[in-house]
Amino acid sequence: MSNDNIKIDDIKDQNQPKRLDPKSALDRLKSGNDRYVAGESNIINHHDGRADRVVAQYPFAAILSCADSRVAPELLFNQAAGDLFVVRLAGNFVNDDGLASLEYAVEFLNTSLIVVMGHTGCGAIDAAIKTIKHDAKLPGALPTLISQIKPAIKQNLLESVNTGQKTPDALLNNAIYDNVKNNVQKLKDSEPLLASGCQKGEIMVVGAVYDLSTGRVDFI
């Protein structure tokens, strides 16, 4: 077979299980978080199944999460190793590398659900707000991080100036939620893989914010 004739299906795992429907995947995450919040998480022996996972992985959901050390998707959703395909970076925004990773999960691993998950008290977004407010100059690649989060912040800064009613805490919280919503929409609009999958109902992209104090994930 020449390279010109190779199709994407030729390099996929032919033993891959059927894609779980997105709603069932979302319900599974919600149930896991309910157990976590209630202090009733299933005890998971991560040694079990390790040999099987050498052969393949079958994650039912992908999580675009902040890199914050206090946010651990497998724990807060009470899922085992191999259940979640996790992409993490400060500020939980979509860049080219993260997008490619999520597309890989959908196209090659049959993942049906993508969750963009921010969290309360996000240090990356708080730093971005202060940087934009004071027009600070940052070293290294940090300006790139700020530029990705900036759209969610600018809208809320403008509203804060116009109304004079938003406290710093409210500004941060609103920016966290808007940042999640902006990146959910970015993924939904991403051609051709994710946009097509969403339109066909094969995959779902949703937003969420994890509350550090309660452990609850608020799906939005």
Residue 201 lies in a domain: yes
Q: What does the pLDDT profile of the chain (220 residues) look like in tens digits?
A: 445 555 566 556 666 777 899 999 999 999 999 999 999 999 887 677 676 667 678 899 999 999 999 999 999 999 999 999 999 999 999 999 999 999 999 999 999 999 999 999 999 999 999 998 888 899 999 999 999 999 999 878 776 655 565 677 888 999 999 999 999 999 999 999 999 999 999 999 999 999 999 999 999 9
Residue 125 lies in a domain: no
pTM over 0.85: yes
C-alpha 175/C-alpha 169 separation (Å) is: 10
Q: H helices then E strands: how many in the chain?
A: 8, 5
C-alpha 108/C-alpha 93 separation (Å) is: 22
Residue 86 lies in a domain: yes
Residues 6+ apart with CB under 8 A from 64: 87, 88, 92, 94, 98, 102, 114, 115, 116, 117, 183, 187
Residue 160 lies in a domain: no
Q: Residue 114 is part of a domain; what is its CATH number?
A: 3.40.1050.10
The total of structural domains in the chain comes to: 1
Residue 146 lies in a domain: no
Residue 148 lies in a domain: no
Beta-bridge partner residues of 210: 119, 217
Residue 25 lies in a domain: yes
Q: What is the largest CA-CA distance in the chain?
A: 67
Conformational region of residue 121, where left means phi above 0, alpha means psi within -120 to 50, and beta covers everything else: left
pLDDT confidence of residue 1: 43
92 within 8 A of 69, measured Cβ to Cβ: no
Residue 11 lies in a domain: no
Look up the domain containing 36 and give its range. Answer: 16-42+52-120+179-219
Question: Which residue blocks in the chain are alpha helix, DSSP H?
Answer: 22-38, 50-55, 73-76, 96-109, 123-134, 142-163, 168-188, 193-200
pLDDT confidence of residue 133: 85
How far, in whole angstroms, is CA 27 from its chain's centroid?
Answer: 16
